[in-house]
Structure 1
Amino acid sequence: MEKNTLNQLEILAAKIRYDVLDMLQHRGYGHLGGSLSLVELMSVLYGKQMQYDATNPKWEQRDRVVLSKGHAGPVWYSALAESGFFDKEWLYTLNDGGTKLPSHPDRTKTPGVDMTTGSLGQGTSTAAGIATALKKSHIDRYVYLIVGDGELNEGQCWEAFQYIANYKLNNCIVIIDDNKRQLDGYTKDIMNPFDISKKMEAFGFFTQKVKGNDIEAIDDAINQAKEVKDKAVCIVLDTIKGQGVPYFENMFSNHSVKFNTDEINDAANEAKQALLEFISKEEC
């Protein structure tokens, strides 16, 4: 990756991370941990890999995103706002009555959202259906299916993966956010996923595992996935819940955070200030 491109993606990631912190702090609560673990991925998707037209969200030749872990909607909204799909002021209406940015994504409300998600597992099946439709329509575009590691408790995920692998839907790039935590605690303590990469390989996927905070590694993995022609593809992101903000990385109950103490708000404010300073320095 060229140095200038990497720099632009790092800036975009900083802006997305800032937006997530700012909108949730403004709201007073929200799904912080699993949103922050996807920041670098969203930067690579919307800053480099995806084909889209923010002025025409329904453009037929666009790539699609299905955020099956719909509770991470804040990071998607932030990426969409930074990419020009809607005004950034919308971010401060998250979960308000009548908002266009509900807690979980809704394709009838938000420009750039192609599939309503929130009931875990269902996004995997709908992404498989979209990928099938694109193949049958001879539209050579990609579906980026983003799945949580805790979500893999749902049997529907594995039914969908079996379908995707059987029909070699290489236009559906399955991306698993392996941040090792879910609502109730650590995934290994609740329902041990064992080695997710080996599971996906056993299901018939060409599988790569990369650090989820490494922009270049994510980009390389997507490029390599696009070269695979004869089987399904999967990228496992080795992430940290609350990624990029040490205070929230170390918070045990960081799935959904309430900004109800001085300590939590101070940590968010310090992180936002550091991000603003980074953005200002890099954009000069």
Structure 2
Amino acid sequence: MPQPRQRQSPPGVTPKMTPRPDHGEESYRGCGRLTGKVAVITGGDSGIGRAVAIAYAREGADLVISYLDEHEDAEETGRWVRDAGRVCVLVPGDLADPAHCRSVVERAVTEFGRIDVLVSNAAFQMTRDSLQDIPDEEWDRTLAINLSAFFHLAKAAVPHMRLGSAIIASTSVNSDMPPPQLLPYNVTKAGIANMAGSLSQLLGPKGIRVNSVAPGPIWTPLIPATMPEEQVESFGSQVPLGRPGQPAELAAVYVLLASDEAGYVSGARIAVTGGQPIL
């Protein structure tokens, strides 16, 4: 069924969403696939990032969660991680600043001495109906948060990653099928997919695997915070499964790519799109 019409201010928060997203709080069951690993997750306060954080913690990983300023959402994620018996370090700040990207990595190294998994997931978007409606500063900020932050995080993290470590980036079905109203976002998601492919080759000799996940329409705070209410109401209805995905429905893919079970998986882009093919 469609979501009710709703609107938030960016970046959006979970408690104001109707219905509340499912992050796997009551459903995800871990089995030790990430025991002893240290993971950095950006955008980990809500949405896909929260679902990944819950799954990683229940699989045995300690976490550093990067987020902008959604403190209530971040603390909720932290509680779920700690309830799983794992350490959770929350690091607020703006990833549009390269220095902050480096500080997130530095915090992880200070706390744990290394990084085993980097999940570059934080993203920004706005819906605009014409090219002239896109402010220059919005273009710059979208590229800085979505694309440049991935570069700065990876560059800072790699010296602290060991053989068998993994980098996972969140791209999008929009990288292949770009809706015109999300032009800057689409460009960044295509760039992320390309960068992950480049990094998988560049870092392969170091034994560091790099992959990306391409979600379709997933019900996260970004949607009511950045789309017109009529688009929110019909969000997800266009895919073959006929509904938006829940953040929890992506968690297992991120777990697989972070785990030693995916030791020969690098340079891949995994689609989680509700049936919309990426070929």
TM superposition score normalised by structure 2:
0.42
Higher helix share: 1
TM superposition score normalised by structure 1:
0.41
